[in-house]
Chain A
Amino acid sequence: MKHTLSVLVENKSGVLTRVTSLFARRGFNIDSLAVGPTEDPTLSRITIVVSAEDTPIEQITKQLHKLINVIKIQDLDPAESIDRELVLFKVNATPERRHEIIEIANVFRAKIIDVGRNSLTIEATGSTDKLQAMEDLFRAYGIKELARTGKIALARGSRDSEAR
Chain B
Amino acid sequence: MSERITGAEALVRCLEAEGVDTLFGYPGGVALPIFDALYDSKQIRTILPRHEQGVVHASDGYARATGRIAPALVTSGPGATNTITGLANAYMDSIPMVVFTAQVSQAVLGTDAFQESDITGITLPITKHNYLVKDPADLPAVIKEAFHIASTGRPGPVLIDLPIDVSRGELDFEYPETVHLPGYKPTTKGHSRQIKQAAGLIAKARRPLLYAGGGVLAGEGTKELKELAELMQIPVVTTLMGKGAFPEDHHLWIGMPGMHGAKYTNYTITETDLLIAVGVRFDDRVTGKLSSFASKAKIIHIDVDPAEIGKNKAVDVPIVGDAKPILAGLVGELRKSAADPKTEAWVRAIDDWRKQFPLHYHTVEGHIAPETVVQVIDKLTMKQKRVICTEVGQNQMWACQYTHLTEPRTWVSSGGLGTMGFGLPAAMGAAVGRPDHLVIDIAGDGSIQMNSQEMATCKINDIPVKVVILNNGYLGMVRQWQELFYDRRYASSVLDQMCPDFVKLADAYGWKGYRITDPADLEKTLKKALAEDGPVMIDVHVEREECVFPMVAPGGSIDEMLGGVPGAPVSDMLDDDLLEEVWE
Contact = CB atoms under 8 A, between A and B. Distances in A.
Interface stretch (A68-76, A80-88, A91-99): A68-76
B307 A65 contact: yes
B305 to A, nearest CB: 7
B311 A59 contact: yes
Interface in A63-122: 63, 65-71
A17 B307 contact: no
Given A62-B307, A63-B307, A68-B149, A17 B121 contact: yes
B307 A59 contact: yes
A139 interface: no
Given A17-B124, A21-B124, A25-B125, A68 B181 contact: yes
Contacts of A21: 124-125
B183 interface: yes
A33 to B, nearest CB: 17
A39 to B, nearest CB: 15
A69 B130 CA distance: 11
A9 interface: yes
A48 B182 CA distance: 21
B144 to A, nearest CB: 13
A68 B184 contact: yes
Most chain B beta carbons < 10 A, residue from A10, A21, A62: A62
B183 A68 contact: yes
A14 interface: yes
Contacts of A71: 182-183
A71 B149 CA distance: 15
A65 B181 contact: no
B203 interface: no
B306 interface: yes
Nearest to B184: A68
A62 B184 CA distance: 13
Contacts of B128: 66, 68
Interface residues of A, number: 19
A66 B121 contact: no
B124 A18 contact: yes
Given A25-B125, A65-B307, A14 B120 contact: yes
Interface in B57-71: none
Contacts of B120: 14
Nearest to A42: B182
Interface in B92-133: 120-121, 124-125, 128-129, 132
A65 B129 CA distance: 13
A10 B125 contact: no
B306 A62 contact: yes
A68 B185 CA distance: 9
A25 B182 CA distance: 25
Contacts of B307: 59, 62-63, 65-66
Nearest to B124: A21
B132 A69 contact: no
Interface residues of B, number: 18
Interface string B165-185: 000000000000000011110
Contacts of A69: 183
A6 to B, nearest CB: 15
A66 B149 contact: no
Contacts of A67: 129, 183
Interface string B304-325: 0111001100000000000000
A9 B307 CA distance: 19
A69 B149 CA distance: 12
A25 B124 CA distance: 11
Interface in B172-210: 181-184
B236 to A, nearest CB: 28
A66 B125 contact: no
Interface string B385-420: 000000000000000000000000000000000000
A71 B125 CA distance: 19
B304 to A, nearest CB: 11
Interface string A5-20: 0000110011001100
Most chain B beta carbons < 10 A, residue from A10, A17, A66, A69: A66
Contact of B183 (A10, A14, A59, A62): A10
Contact of A70 (B124, B154, B183, B305): B183
B190 to A, nearest CB: 17
A18 B310 CA distance: 23
Nearest to B305: A66
Nearest to A8: B183
A68 B121 contact: no
B179 to A, nearest CB: 11
A70 to B, nearest CB: 5
A107 to B, nearest CB: 44
Contacts of B305: 66
A10 B181 CA distance: 10
B499 to A, nearest CB: 38
Contacts of A66: 128, 154, 305, 307
A62 B181 CA distance: 18
A16 to B, nearest CB: 12
Contacts of A9: 183
Nearest to B306: A62
A68 B306 contact: no
A11 to B, nearest CB: 11
Contacts of B310: 58
A15 to B, nearest CB: 10
B106 to A, nearest CB: 13
Nearest to A18: B124
A21 B149 CA distance: 20
A71 B185 CA distance: 10
Nearest to A164: B182
A21 B124 CA distance: 8
Nearest to A60: B307
What 4 A-B pairs are tightest by C-beta distance, nearest first? A62-B307, A71-B183, A68-B129, A68-B184
Interface of B: 120-121, 124-125, 128-129, 132, 149, 154, 181-184, 305-307, 310-311
Given A21-B125, A63-B307, A66-B154, 5 more contacts: A13-B132, A14-B132, A17-B124, A59-B307, A62-B311
Interface of A: 9-10, 13-14, 17-18, 21, 25, 58-59, 62-63, 65-71
29 contacts: A10-B183, A13-B132, A14-B120, A14-B132, A17-B121, A17-B124, A18-B124, A21-B124, A21-B125, A25-B125, A58-B310, A59-B307, A59-B311, A62-B306, A63-B307, A65-B306, A65-B307, A66-B154, A66-B307, A67-B129, A67-B183, A68-B128, A68-B181, A68-B183, A68-B184, A69-B183, A70-B183, A71-B182, A71-B183
